[in-house]
Chain A
Amino acid sequence: MIISFLLLASLTIIGTAAAMSLKNLVHCVLALTLGLVGLAGLYLQLGAQFVGFTQILVYVGAVAILAAFAIMMTRSADPTLSNATATFRTSGAVVAVVVFAVLAWAIYYGTAHQPIFTAQPEGSVGQVGLALMHHFVLPLEVIGLLLTAALIGAGILAMDEHRGNQ
């Protein structure tokens, strides 16, 4: 349990840290895919199978591919172009480190005396499906509507204006 958590956590940390620090943007997206796979493994280890599969399907399958296409279509993949980090990179890094320090302090002292329920909960795909169809059916419809509107809007935004008017 501990060993698998450490393996998946290091995979996630290495992948995401590389995604945010590499110079070539295509390498960044590949490293991001690695980190998201590690995160999906963590969800599966926590017993949330449906969320783990959704993570692989949505993030690894769709969002990473979409980002790779956007990078290739905007010619950002050439590392000789301005892909270096910004001028205020030290201040940004300092802000991130301070945020992590405050969060870690709060987590460490906040969860020290919490009771821990270690019984493995039942979160199978079938139960999630039943809950989506019974108790959460209205939010499901709303998110379907939101996704439809967002994807139609994204298509219209990305359409070439000059070719679209002809």
Chain B
Amino acid sequence: MSPLTGYLLLSAFLFSIGLAGALTRRNAILVLIGIELMLNAANLNFIAFWRYGPHPEALTGVMFAIFSIGVAAAEAAVGLSIILAVYRHSRTTDLDKLNSMKG
């Protein structure tokens, strides 16, 4: 097994953990954290392919990971403030109870 395979398997596992969390947890904050984990798995793939790819001097994998981290930070800030606004409106973050868009 090559080192690249090890990193890709770890990334797939991280993605599956994030997917399981986003699908099964009931709290909106933990669903957001699960989505962040899936983004992190993609970043690990970018860095691993950059390290073991044929043209590492182009730095494209590193650049993609940096911009992806920036977009993920913006997404986390907006998502958490939306959750705060929803909580202030309906006094809960339980996704099973948030079943109406107007209230």
Residues in chain A within 8 A of chain B (CB atoms): 1, 5, 9, 12-13, 16-17, 19-20, 25, 28-29, 32, 35-36, 39, 42-43, 46-48, 50-51, 54-55, 58-59, 62-63, 66-67, 70-71, 73-74, 76, 81-89, 91-93, 95-97, 99-100, 103-104, 107-108, 111-112, 114-119, 121-123, 127-128, 131-132, 136, 139, 143, 146-147, 150-151, 153-155, 157-158, 160-161
With a 10 A CB-CB cut-off, give which of A13, A86, A136 has the most chain B CB atoms. Answer: A86
Q: Given A87-B96, A107-B5, A118-B52 in contact, is the A147-B21 Cβ separation under 8 Å?
A: no
**B78 and A157 form a contact (CB under 8 A):** yes
Docked CA distance A12–B50 (Å): 20
The total of interchain contacts (Cβ-Cβ below 8 angstroms) comes to 236
Residues in chain B within 8 A of chain A (CB atoms): 2-10, 12-21, 23-27, 29-30, 32-34, 36-37, 40, 43-44, 47-48, 50-54, 56-57, 59, 61-63, 65-67, 69-78, 80-85, 87-88, 93-97
In-complex Cβ contact of A158 among B9, B16, B54, B84 (8 A): B84
Residues of chain B lying within 8 A (CB to CB) of residue A147: 70, 73-74
Residues of chain A lying within 8 A (CB to CB) of residue B40: 36, 39, 59
B12 vs chain A, min Cβ distance (A): 4
Residue of B nearest to A158 (CB): B81
**A86 and B25 form a contact (CB under 8 A):** yes
Pull 21 A–B residue pairs with CB atoms less than 8 Å apart, ordered by A. A25-B27, A55-B43, A66-B76, A70-B84, A74-B83, A84-B26, A86-B96, A89-B24, A92-B20, A93-B23, A103-B15, A107-B9, A107-B12, A121-B56, A128-B59, A128-B63, A131-B63, A146-B71, A153-B78, A154-B78, A157-B85
